[in-house]
Homo-oligomer: A and B are copies of this chain.
């Protein structure tokens, strides 16, 4: 059990690579009280828009507030669910279509806590963290602003 959850670095520059994800997984193999890991990866879709296909999302954030909100979500998840550990990473800057911009990683002794915490954390991030996304469209410099549902 982690007893103190110091604020952790969430934002990373550009896409989150598969190698970064496997390194995170590998680091947890020494935590032998973990029986279940649940992971969520948000990947940029090539959605069709007026004017062309989405080629990537340019992320910006109100970073100071976002880091506080990430910390609050983290604390709330540890209070609600019986977790061993949790990591959240989110991209800033350009993330091309097909690449990963959000990585949520929750680990627990038994599977139910990890399922429930995963959903909770992802929904909270989508609803509460001041991150903004410009969806780049086609080859002509067009864009629209993304809005979470």
Contact = CB atoms under 8 A, between A and B. Distances in A.
Interface of A: 18-19, 21-23, 25-26, 28-46, 97-100, 109, 111, 114-115, 118-119, 122
Copies of this chain, whole number? 2
Given A22-B21, A35-B42, A41-B39, A29 B115 contact: no
Given A38-B40, A122-B111, A23 B32 contact: no
Nearest to A32: B46
Given A40-B36, A43-B36, A118-B38, A99 B29 contact: yes
Contact of A22 (B22, B42, B111, B122): B22
B35 A98 contact: no
A41 B34 CA distance: 10
Given A39-B39, A115-B119, A32 B45 contact: yes
Nearest to A126: B111
A98 B30 CA distance: 6
